[in-house]
Structure formats: C-alpha cells, structure tokens
Amino acid sequence: MSQHPTQSDEQGAVDPNLPPDPSRRFWVASACTLGGVAGVATAVPFVGSFAPSEKAKAAGAPVEADISGLAEGQMMTVEWRGKPVWIVRRTKAEVDALSKHDAELADPNSDRPGFTPEWAKNEYRSRKPEYFVCIGICTHLGCSPTAHFQTGAQPGLPSDWPGGWLCPCHGSTFDLAGRVFANKPAPDNLEIPPYVFSADGTRITIGVDEDNKA
Amino acid sequence: MADKNVETTGLLGWVDHRFPLTKMFKEHMSEYYAPKNFNFWYFFGSLALLVLVIQVVTGIFLVMNYKPDARFAFESVEYIMREVPGGWFIRYMHSTGASMFFVVVYLHMLRGLFYGSYRKPRELVWIFGVGIFLCLMGEAFFGYLLPWGQMSYWGAQVIVNLFSAIPFIGPELSLWIRGDYVVSDATLNRFFAFHVIAIPLVLIGLVVAHIIALHEVGSNNPDGVEIKQGPKDKYGRPVDGIPFHPYYSVHDVVGVAGFLIVFAAIIFFGPEMGGYFLEYNNFLPADPLKTPPHIAPVWYFTPFYTMLRATTSDFTWVMAAGALLAAVLLFAKGRLSGIWRLAVPGILVLVAILMKVLDAKFWGVVSMGGAVVILFFLPWLDHSPVKSIRYRPNWHKVLYAIFIIDFLILGWLGTQPVSPAYTVLGQIGTVIYLAFFLAMPVWSRLGTFKPVPERVTFRAH
C-alpha cells in the first residue's frame, strides 16, 4: 500500500454516488453487444446438435416386403425409417365400400397437402385398388392406430363402422383408405409413403418412387 | 476481520468470520417469524422439499446401474429390480416419490389457492412456485421415457408430437426435439441428460428462489392477515409470529412422520398403486411398431391430457364463441383503460377467428398448455378484497368445490378410453376449468365479503 499513496488518500477516493459517465456508455453498450453476438454464435452448434445426426439421416434406406403370401382382408406391417408401414390387401367388397361414406370424412379427396402423393389422389389412395400401403402413424400425435376391419357396431366405434383403424390414444378413426373421419382430433389422412411394386407384383419396395428416388 | 461483529466463538466463530452461517440460520430458521396459526395445509411445503431430497438421492443411486441406451435401458431397469441388492427398494422409492411429489405439490398449490397466498406481496413466490411445477412436469415427462417400456415410448411420442401442432415450425420443431424421425436412442439420451442434469439444476435454483422470496415477504396464513402489519413486541417481532425453528421445524417433523407412513406403505404394499403410479403396459419393452391398445399418461398429467383430447373441431366453435363473448364483455364493461380497451378485445376477436382457421390439434395443445400457464397469472386474476377463503362469500366456496371436483373428474377421464359421452364430459370440464380462471377477475369481486380480523385467529392448545 505504501508504494501507491495517491490511491488511498482522501483526494483519490471516488464518490460512490457519482452519476453514470455518459462517455463510457457507448463502450459499455458495444462490449455488451459484441459479447452477446459471440454468446449467440456459440449457442448455434449447441442448438444444432439437437438435429438428427448423419447416422439417423442415413437410416432411411428403402425396405422390401414380400406380399405374395398376403391373403385378402389381411394386413402386414413392415418397419421403414423406424415407423410401421402397413400393407393391406383389401377385399372387393371393401374396395367398393370406399366411395360410400365420403360425407363422413374430413378430407375425402385428399386435398390437404403433404400426406398424399399425386399418384395416390384417387378413391383408393393407392397404386393398385387391391393393395393399400400407408404409414401406420396417426396424424394427430403419432400413435399407431389399431386395425378394426370388421364392419358394424363395436366398442368405441359408430354403429355404421365401415372397417378401418381406430387410434387408441385420442380416438381418431380412419377408413380402409387411411382417410380420417370428420370431427376427430387427427387433421390429416394417414401418410402414403413412396413405394413401387416389383414387375411380377409379388414384392413392394417402400421408400422409392417410380423414378427411384426416396 | 476485527471490524466484523461475530458473537459466536470457537469453530463456529471461525466459520462465522468467513461465512455467514449463523446469520443465515437466524434469518431463515430461528429468527424467521411465521404466523402462529398454521394448520394441516402448511405441511406440504416442507414435505415437497423432503420428496425432492428423496428423488435426488434415489436418482443418484439409480443412475449407477441404469443404462441410457435404447438397447439396454429396459433390461437395466429390470436388472436394478431383480439383481442389484436393494435395487427394487431404491427404484420403488423413486417411482413412488414421483407420484407423491405431485400429490404433495397439488395440495400445496391448493393451499395457496384457498388462502390467497399468491396475492400481493407474494406474487413472485407464486410465480417461482409455478416454475417449479413446470420443472416437475418436465422431470416427470423426461424421466418416464427412461425405463423404455411401451408407455414410456408412446407417451413420449405423443407429447413430442404435441409440438408438431404449432403452425409452420411445428414438424421441424418436433424433429429437432426427438433428434430422429421417430423416438429413438438419440431421444432417450437427451431425455436422460435433461432428467438427471438440466432440469434438476433449474429446479433446485427455483426452490432456493421460492424460499428466499417467501422469507423476504413472510408467510401468509389461513386468515390472510399480514402479521408484519400487526402489533409488535418490544423487540420489534410480530406478536402473531413464532420462530420457524424450533416451532415449525418440530411441527413439520410430525408431518414428515405421517407422510413416511403413507410413503412406506405404498412402497412395500402397492408400489404400482393399481396401475396409477406404474402403468402395467410399461412392463413391456418399447415396440415402435405397436401402440398399446389403451394409452394414458400417469395420473398427474391426466387432467391436462383430457383437455387435449376434448378439443375437437366442434369444440373450437365453443371456444371461439367464448372468446367473442369475452371480447364484447371486456369492451362494454371492462375496467381496462386507454389502448388496452381496444387492444385486448381485438386480440380476443382475432383468437376467435384463428380458432377456425388453424387446426383443432393446435388448439388442443394450446388449451392443455394454457391450463398450466394460466396459473402464472393468478395473482392478477384474483380481484377479491380479501385473501383467505375464510372471509369470502359462501358461494365462492361452492365455486372452489366445483373447481376441485372438476379437476378430479378431468383427471379420471384422462385415464379412460375415448368415448363420445366422455368427450362431451371432458369438454364441459375443460370449459369449467378455463372459466374458473378466465372469469375470476369478475366473479372474485362479487358478493358480500366477511370482515377480516385485525389479527390472526388462534386458540392456544
């Protein structure tokens, strides 16, 4: 202390109640702004680390399903990108019934964007009327609906039930073309993935379209 | 150090010269004066702290054997249950503790509601408290994924997809939260990080803030009388206050004993609580291809879950009508001044229009989130001239009773499968819940209030 007498004597003491020094305001603001920019810039990689990793992105390879053993009225499930994909072989009666309840559906012609490719915008929402392929994830909050193919009244379903799926989570119902019934929590029809049939029609490759793009 | 006034000597004196140990003990314990008329309802604050300690300690020990990996998570929980010595006990303490945390916190919040403990000057105590409640919900949600059972998996799938309902950014946002196109190992790992590090840190910080804010303004009491404004003794202490330590510290030990009897009984005799504390479907490993036939969240989330399910596109007509009605009433009769008189009804009209423009899915998420967020505004929604329910008109008590019954019914409905009748019941319940809070500025000032005493009512015993 004795080396710096001027710092501790009466004259050197600073009044603690001095008003803020306006000449320093610019530098205080600049330092805070630049520090803030640096802070936000540092946050970018942290926020970015939450996005799907390269490994997760690469896991979306197409899968092939053998449908030669699928009987009429039956459904099989295959896993594509971690999601269940359903393949249903509809009966003639089931296909014919699809056009009879359009009035009860929220989006009978699949006009809402994002869930139905152009080639599936038909009454059957499929490439072939007999085979229906869709992602078995409810468009409400992502549960996997359960199949209720038997028609008519049953617990949790209306008495004129045409056959389809019921989501156990929030009660959304879908017909056998994956079209959502009106006034249910789910806003959209079930998503149709890209898929192609093999030349002999016994296999379906899910994840590619006719131009072989995922 | 000579200038510091320290009364203690010896080791404590040595510490006190360097750290305000005795000072803090006095401030928060032996010289913190709490109203002398606390009743049964005042046990739940200290019990919440006890459960927090139980959760932290059991959590640390669970992490020693748990593996946050989608391939091993389910197995490692079963390993804890069957092969780690005492592992079942630690795990059941943790799972029962989660449910009991909500029991205790719901009762603690109800106490605040009854006695107006959120009113000026305790707004921040309440806001920190609601923050703690949000953290708890986060802890419970993130923690529930970790056992990687069917309910863990599909519960997380549903809640993460809630975010996809937000217009424009929703789908990208839920992808970002999951870190994958479906709930997967990446999701499990980050939820683990949130559950064991991030949220507990915030939670403990908020608990400290909650207690500091409480001790700054002083505790409320069943009469809603400010003891600091009442008479003081010759030492300047409020005569209606008693030192927290030893009076309430010892008093709370009784509450702790009672709580531990219940807690132990659940752990030893019914840790699953009939499927309410631990859902049966969660004893099946997660299967990304198959949703269990009946999925429901754990009981403490079910009231809010019912509100989510109740919001169908028909119901948004009701909500739009409600918003319009509120806009008209506020414009005609509201006490808002200046720009707010036009702006608030204007915003409500806009909301009414958006009700029909945006998907019902989005509004379901809004009503579910809003049901929690609205609690933050409670200090400014309640306009009653008295704090405590004791001095409110009797029909206010009826409203509280309706609200409590409504909350319980909403909770019960959330555990049930959907049916048309239950959906309507859930919609009525949602309207009652929201109306209770949104109409509070009106109903809370109506009626004949009883005179509030000068001092707390207390009979020595």
Q: What is the mean pLDDT of chain A?
A: 86
pLDDT grade, residue A56 (50/70/90)?
Answer: confident
The minimum CA-CA distance between B433 and chain A, rounded to whole Å, is 20
The minimum CA-CA distance between A57 and chain B, rounded to whole Å, is 8
Does residue A53 sit in helix, strand or coil?
coil
Tens digit of each residue's pLDDT (9 = 90 or more) over A96-148: 888 888 888 988 888 888 888 888 888 889 999 999 999 999 988 888 999 99
User: CB within 8 A of B410, min separation 6: which ones?
Assistant: B302, B303, B306, B307, B426, B429, B430, B433
**A185 to chain B: nearest residue by CA?**
B312
* CB spacing of A52 vs B179 below 8 angstroms: yes
Tens digit of each residue's pLDDT (9 = 90 or more) over B205-247: 999 999 999 999 999 999 999 999 999 999 999 999 999 999 9
Helix (H) or strand (E) holding A33: helix A22-48
Q: Has residue A95 got a pLDDT over 70?
A: yes
In one-letter notation, the amino acid at residue B229 is Q
DSSP state of A119: G
Residue A9 pLDDT? 64
Residue A1 pLDDT? 46
CB contacts of B163 in chain A (<8 Å) are none
Q: Has residue A38 got a pLDDT over 90?
A: yes
* CB spacing of A187 vs B359 below 8 angstroms: yes
The reply to whether ipTM tops 0.85 is no
Cβ atoms of B222 and B39 within 8 Å: the answer is: yes
pLDDT grade, residue B376 (50/70/90)?
Answer: very high
CB contacts of A60 in chain B (<8 Å) are 181
Region B65-90 average pLDDT: 96
Region B14-31 average pLDDT: 95
Tens digit of each residue's pLDDT (9 = 90 or more) over B282-334: 999 999 888 888 888 899 999 999 998 888 888 889 889 988 888 888 887 77
- How far is residue A187 from each of residues A119, A171, B40, B361, B385, measured CA to CA in Å? 21, 12, 48, 7, 46
Is B418 in CB contact (< 8 Å) with chain A?
yes
Is B313 in CB contact (< 8 Å) with chain A?
yes
Residue B420 pLDDT? 83
- From the CA atom positions of chain A, what is the Rg in Å? 31
Q: Has residue B3 got a pLDDT over 70?
A: no
The minimum CA-CA distance between A102 and chain B, rounded to whole Å, is 18
* CB spacing of A186 vs B361 below 8 angstroms: yes
Cβ atoms of A197 and A203 within 8 Å: the answer is: yes
* CB spacing of A145 vs B182 below 8 angstroms: no
Partner residue opposite A144 with nearest CB, options B175, B176, B289: B289
- How far is residue B410 from each of residues A169, B34, B51, B154, measured CA to CA in Å? 16, 36, 26, 21
The minimum CA-CA distance between A134 and chain B, rounded to whole Å, is 13
The minimum CA-CA distance between B253 and chain A, rounded to whole Å, is 43
Q: What is the 3-state secondary structure (H, E, C) of chain B?
A: CCCCCCCCCHHHHHHHHHCCHHHHHHHHHHCCEEECCCCHHHHHHHHHHHHHHHHHHHHHHHHCCCCCCCCCHHHHHHHHHHCCCCHHHHHHHHHHHHHHHHHHHHHHHHHHHHHCCCCCCCHHHHHHHHHHHHHHHHHHHHHHHCCCEHHHHHHHHHHHHHHHHCCCCHHHHHHHHHCCCCCCHHHHHHHHHHHHHHHHHHHHHHHHHHHHHHHHHCCCCCCCCCHHHCCECCCCCECCEEEHHHHHHHHHHHHHHHHHHHHHHHHHHCCCHHHCCCCHHHHCECCCCCCCCCCCCCHHHHHHHHHHHHCCHHHHHHHHHHHHHHHHHHHHHCCCCCHHHHHHHHHHHHHHHHHHHCCHHHHHHHHHHHHHHHHHHHHHHCCCCCCCHHHCCHHHHHHHHHHHHHHHHHHHHHHCCCCHHHHHHHHHHHHHHHHHHHCHHHHCCCCCCCCCCCCCCCCCC
Share of chain B above pLDDT 90, in %: 73
Q: Has residue A214 got a pLDDT over 70?
A: no
Q: What is the mean pLDDT of chain B?
A: 92
What is the model's pTM?
0.88
Among chain A, residues having any CB pair with chain B shorter than 8 Å are 50-53, 56, 60, 77, 79, 81-84, 136, 140-146, 156, 167-171, 182-187
pLDDT grade, residue A213 (50/70/90)?
Answer: low
* CB spacing of B418 vs A156 below 8 angstroms: yes
Comparing A3 with B202, the larger pLDDT belongs to B202
CB contacts of B157 in chain A (<8 Å) are 141-143
pLDDT grade, residue B377 (50/70/90)?
Answer: very high
